[in-house]
A and B are shown apart, each in its own frame.
Chain A
Amino acid sequence: MSEDAKTPKPGFLPIETNWFDRLFISVVIWVALSLFWFRFIEPLGLSIWICCAISAVLAAYIIRRG
């Protein structure tokens, strides 16, 4: 495991996190957003792939700056 994985990094999240914590948070948000999208947004005609793109960008931002 790299040193970065063990060392907490200050970021915008309210708790101390390492990169694996931030990856976990990203996956949790990705799944929640996908289920929300299936239930409320997709019936309006917006594809789930838009949700995937938003989630991927959000995940990258959380992992880098969280």
Chain B
Amino acid sequence: MHSKTLGWALLAPTLILLFFFGVVPFIYVLFVSFHQWNPFAVNPDMIFNWAENYRRVVFDAQFLASLGVTVAFVFFAVVSELIIGYALAQAFMRDFPGKAFFRTIHTLPLIMAPIIVGSIWKLMTTPSIGILPNILDDWFGFNLNIGQSALQAFTVTVIMDIWHWTPLVTLSLIAALVSLPPDPFEQAQIDGANKRQIFWHITLPMIRPAIIATVFIRLMDALRTVDEVLMLTGGGPGSATRYLGVHIFKEVFPRTNYGYGSAISVVVLYLTIVACWLLYVSLIAPRNTKKG
């Protein structure tokens, strides 16, 4: 078989699956987003309303507030995960007693379903019965009540996301650090480079592809966080933790406003693609040296 034909034949199952489970649902959501559709209303029919849902999105104060808190959530969560994940990866590169045990324990949050993570953190942070409010009150006299304080609720959701997803960053960066050749580090040490110079000029540029790939994955995941936040805070207090995913959920399911919910989903997908693309352009896209 011709190598090109063989290539397409091998790719075909994946492409077919991607088409039916990725492209077709997207086209359907795009189609619905141009309609007014509430299947449980008096008139359950789809009514084509041009771009009315998108016109509504840009004036929706709740959506814009959700966008703001989501950007803050993604920024704090992803940056923290990257820094803590790198520190842990460096720690796991050294030998210390109980390393294998600690490495296994540290990976456990990764295998938990987000809804379970949300339940665990809800139990841990519920005032009077939760371990965290009790410890903070006994040791520091600090009153933790995520049902009342917007800042505390936001901070706890960020910490929960860090707890859940830092192991993924650590594992990715361990894989990248293990694969680094020793020669450049030995040469740098012979030339008298200190640890800071080795980190900035050798380690960081060499693991940059792994860091970018990890940031892409975490950025996309953090932008569509729903279940664990819905379980922990329900989007409250007020709308302090009503992230975009939670906002879409509340718009689509309790209100059964499918058309408008689809429009918000498309806008969120657009923002995710643009964020990842800007990251790609600013960090790895080849520069245009010749001007036309």
Residues of A within 8 A of B (CB): 8-17, 24, 28, 31-32, 34-35, 38-39, 42, 48, 65
Contacts and interface: CB of A to CB of B under 8 A. Distances in A.
A38 B288 contact: no
B287 interface: yes
Given A11-B292, A31-B270, A38 B287 contact: no
Contact of A14 (B273, B277, B287): B287
Interface in B229-257: none
A10 B58 contact: no
B51 A10 contact: no
Contact of B51 (A13, A32, A39, A48): A48
A10 B290 contact: yes
Contact of B287 (A9, A12, A15, A35): A15
Nearest to A43: B59
Contact of B267 (A9, A13, A17, A35): A35
B281 interface: yes
B2 interface: no
A24 B273 CA distance: 11
B51 A12 contact: no
A8 B51 CA distance: 35
B54 interface: yes
B196 interface: no
Interface of B: 51, 54-55, 57-59, 267, 270, 273-274, 277, 281, 285-292
| Residue from B58, B286, B288, B289 whose CB has the most chain A CB atoms within 10 Å | B288
| Residue from B51, B286, B289, B292 whose CB has the most chain A CB atoms within 10 Å | B292
A31 B267 CA distance: 9
Given A15-B285, A16-B287, A28-B277, A38 B292 contact: no
Contacts of A28: 270, 273-274, 277
A32 B275 CA distance: 13
Given A12-B291, A28-B274, A28-B277, A35 B285 contact: no
B270 A39 contact: no
Nearest to A21: B285
A28 B272 CA distance: 12
A63 to B, nearest CB: 13
B172 to A, nearest CB: 26
Contact of A8 (B273, B274, B286): B286
